[in-house]
Structure 1
Amino acid sequence: MFKRKGENLDYTCTADVERGEVVVINDALGVAASTAKKNDVIAVYMTGVFLLPKDTSTELQQGKKVYWDPAAKKVTVDANDGAESNPTAYLEAGIVWETALASADKVQVKIG
């Protein structure tokens, strides 16, 4: 039986969030649809193309799989699996929608 399209997820905020900020919910990555305070319930986009922060040392090519570094709060091509040097495992974020030059501080990423 069909329930929902699944484009948005209702989420109870565990911290204050800004509209457009990446929200990590267990093993899932989404983007806040609105600004909210801790304990507010908001919609989190689970699919779509979003402009996300990236490291300015690497060019990201269109179609490349990218990951979310929760410590740096940036997209990376590194698929860190929780190695001892950095125990925080990265989440798969999606693919680069449009090539971003190394100097760019943001990149379009297709999530979901």
Structure 2
Amino acid sequence: MRNFYQTGDTINATAPSGGVVSGQALLIGALFGVAATDAAEAAKFALHLTGCYRLPKATGNGLTEGQKAYWDDTAKKITGTASGNTLVGNAIEPAATDATEAVVRLAN
């Protein structure tokens, strides 16, 4: 197909203010992903938009297997709270209330 551009699992994104480090989860516009590489501010980097990742999680609420996972862009953490946050995928393992990480399947 002549108009095919790429699969879209990983895209070239522009690093935000302060740059990014490999493994960092971030929201760029309405796209949520995990940085594959380090990049200085304004440099291009590979951003994974699909896959399952262990991400920082807010304490105070747990996640059940299959539950919708939201990104709190202020705290830079996964939460089960929808209000004011961005839906980024689903938990693929339960995470206790006091857990600091959650395993999430990204769904952009």
In the superposition, the TM-score normalised over structure 1's length comes to 0.86
Listed one character per residue, the Cα deviations across residues 34-91 of structure 1 (whole Å, up to 9, x for unaligned) are 11110111000000001111122222111000110000111111111xxxxxxxx421
SS at match of 2:53: strand
Query: What's 1:62 paired with?
Result: 65
Q: Which runs of 5+ in 1 are unaligned?
A: 81-88
Residue 103 (1) aligns with residue 105 (2):
no
CA shift, 1:3, in A, is 2.4
Q: How does 1:77-92 map to 2 (within 5 A)?
A: 77-80=80-83, 89-92=84-87
Distance in 1 separating the partners of 2:29 and 2:74:
15
Identity %: 34
The count of aligned residue pairs is 104
CA shift, 1:25, in A, is 1.4
SS at match of 1:34: coil
Distance in 1 separating the partners of 2:31 and 2:5:
19
Listed one character per residue, the Cα deviations across residues 6-36 of structure 1 (whole Å, up to 9, x for unaligned) are 1101011122111111121111101111111
When the two chains are superposed, the root-mean-square deviation of aligned CA atoms in Å is 1.2
Query: What's 1:83 paired with?
Result: none
List structure 1 runs of 4+ shifted beyond 3 angstroms: none
| Equivalent position to 1:40, from 40, 43, 55 | 43
